[in-house]
Structure 1
């Protein structure tokens, strides 16, 4: 009998974002393809934008803070990120949020872990996406660029270690060509680093 290719499971799609409130759903993802104009805006940010933008506030405050930092041709990216911030507000129930946009060109967070947050949304706009696995399984899933990932952290009400999903940034040092990731992280406003 022929065995299935083990890499077929690397792009497993967990339930949609709205299912994250279910007790049996520690991760939710939404597949999406970045349009060519959005990819161009991402490339411009990677080339000319700040290495790190970190702030806390409402979507309106974040928009005001982002506007003077936008390189030419990146409005589409900023609009997309603010739309994701609004979705995070809806799913998490928070009015304010922590917004972190970072260029990453090194090995960052190489170890699989669970965050000390209630709920975290990740979107990798450039470079390889987040890697994740169930605590009970060693199979590593690789998230495609552009996909949305919503993860329950240790502070989520009713969180349990048995159903935990661990994640990490993909290691970049082993790649043949240098890569710069552009990662958006949306969190509860009171997470570590904002006080």
Structure 2
């Protein structure tokens, strides 16, 4: 029997709530992807644009998903909306920016902190975000499907939190068939993007 989406969202929220603690800068929930969601993500990659962006409240985002996503991707649409709802619950933002990107290059190679308050990331295809707490001496990588919340430097009292730098995982050194990612990013609607600093890749 499929899990209730509300129950799933509340369970995830409970697991990710550490991000709201003053010292915490990253919170992860290792959520596996179902076969239907994995297939929908692969189907999306076959015909969808390299980058898709929606802004607005959840109802606006749901309408934009339905209008612009190809057939056969309903599980992906539903998951994106559930993840956006989770982000709204955690951040208290009413208006969101939701991005779905096909990545095939070594984008965002420098470890950095984002110019946002709170960012959610989930890779549907390929590796998840990489992060470091010691300027790159140790690099950790989220697995495919893991839901990651990261504080940006606009989060209240961010200066008191542990400094976590992150980047997109380099793809060029991986086998050819693995040089692709499908990445979901959720921010508040007026997020300004990245503010790279830290160390070079």
Pick the TM interval, shorter chain: 0.7 to 0.9
The residue aligned with 2:184 is 184
The residue aligned with 1:127 is 126
The residue aligned with 1:140 is 139
Give the number of equivalent residue pairs. Answer: 179
The residue aligned with 1:79 is 78
Runs of 4+ in structure 1 over 3 Å off: none
Rounded to whole Å, the distance in 2 between the matches of 1:162 and 1:37 is 38
Rounded to whole Å, the distance in 1 between the matches of 2:172 and 2:112 is 19
Rounded to whole Å, the distance in 2 between the matches of 1:174 and 1:40 is 25
The residue aligned with 2:168 is 169
Contact 1:131 1:143 (8 Å CA) reproduced: yes
Tell me: CA distance 1:44–1:167, structure 2 relative to 1, closer, same or farther (3 Å).
same
List alignment gaps of at least 5 residues for structure 2.
1-13, 194-201
Rounded to whole Å, the distance in 2 between the matches of 1:64 and 1:162 is 37
Question: How is 1:41-80 mapped onto 2 (pairs within 5 angstroms)?
Answer: 41-80=40-79
User: Once the 2 structures are TM-superposed, how far is the Cα of residue 138 of structure 1 from its aligned partner?
Assistant: 2.2
The residue aligned with 1:3 is none
Query: What TM-score do you get using the length of structure 2 for normalisation?
Result: 0.85
The residue aligned with 1:23 is 22
List alignment gaps of at least 5 residues for structure 1.
1-14
Matched, 1:105 2:104: yes
Rounded to whole Å, the distance in 1 between the matches of 2:108 and 2:163 is 17
